[in-house]
Chain A
Amino acid sequence: MSNIGTGGAPAGAPRAEYRTPLKIARGLGSAKSGVGHWWAQRVTAILLVLLVPWLIGVLVSLIGLDLDSARHVIARPWNAIPLAAFVIAAFWHAKLGMQVVIEDYVHTRWVEITLQLLVTFACVLAALASLYALGHIALLAPTTLS
């Protein structure tokens, strides 16, 4: 990346640099957030590639179970903890994806901002509600079964 800091000028040419050293060091570019969105989408995607097949297996295994049995399955630590990880990764990934869809197709500024806020709030709320439900099930179900 020899062009960084040279303003795109060929090597050896006089420097025409308008960015401050701090701006260059942060490396966030004109989009202001750099490649943060891209990376977060990939990192959550890799986590979801690992978790989704497992989740499908768990959900299929719950079919036909009564309330207490279903709670008992979810309350197991090796189900409750990956489920918590899944919920966080899934709603994070969904928020990032919906953000791009809205950016691409909604061109009325106030509608776009409103939708972005609604998606963000809804995803955070749903993730927190899911974690609350998981905590409730994980901490209370074993005592009701014993």
Chain B
Amino acid sequence: MATERPLSPHLQVYRWQITMTMSILHRVTGVIITVGAFALACWLLALASGGEHYVRAAALLASPFGKLVLFGFSLSLVYHLLNGIRHLLWDMGWGFEIPEFYRSGWTVLVLTIVFTVAIWFAALKVHP
């Protein structure tokens, strides 16, 4: 769409900051775990139906492809959960100084890795 009027500068003129990446990641992970929620609904239906449906769902989840997708869902879920808490704290007026934005951002990223690894450590310990 061609626009004649002057436009404000877009993303590419700004120096990279962790805050901009975390902001778009919140959206991306939100869309990913929406897909995950639909997968969970399918799994619940398979569990209710039983028989062949459950066998197929269980086989899919246990396959390398299934594990990879589950890993993506879990990583996205943990990130969205932690960064969501960051958003809720902002809503309460907490953490609005610039250094606090960076500190809370890195905290979320590090904890995302730690919690996701912990979940998969527990999961693979139960059933390698």
Contact = CB atoms under 8 A, between A and B. Distances in A.
Interface in A112-132: 122, 126-127, 129-130, 132
Which interface residue of B30, B48, B77, B85 has the most chain A CB atoms within 10 A? B48
Contact of A67 (B37, B54, B123): B54
Interface string A53-68: 1001000110110010
Contacts of A48: 81, 84
Interface stretch (B4-12, B38-46, B95-103, B104-112): B38-46
Contacts of A71: 47, 50
B81 A130 contact: no
Given A74-B47, A130-B44, A42 B119 contact: no
Interface range, A side = 20 to 34
Which interface residue of A53, A70, A132, A133 has the most chain B CB atoms within 10 A? A133
A64 B41 CA distance: 19
B34 A98 contact: yes
B113 interface: no
A101 interface: yes
A90 B81 contact: no
A137 B53 CA distance: 14
- Tell me the interface secondary structure of chain A in the complex: helix
B127 A63 contact: yes
A95 B62 CA distance: 29
A130 B84 CA distance: 24
A115 to B, nearest CB: 12
B122 A60 contact: yes
A130 B54 CA distance: 15
A1 to B, nearest CB: 17
A52 B77 contact: yes
A130 B88 contact: no
Interface in B76-90: 77, 81, 84-85, 87-88
A133 B50 CA distance: 11
B34 A130 contact: no
Interface in A74-106: 74, 87, 90-91, 94, 97-98, 101
Contacts of B50: 67, 71
B48 A136 contact: yes
A94 B41 contact: no
Contacts of A90: 37
Contacts of A45: 84, 87-88
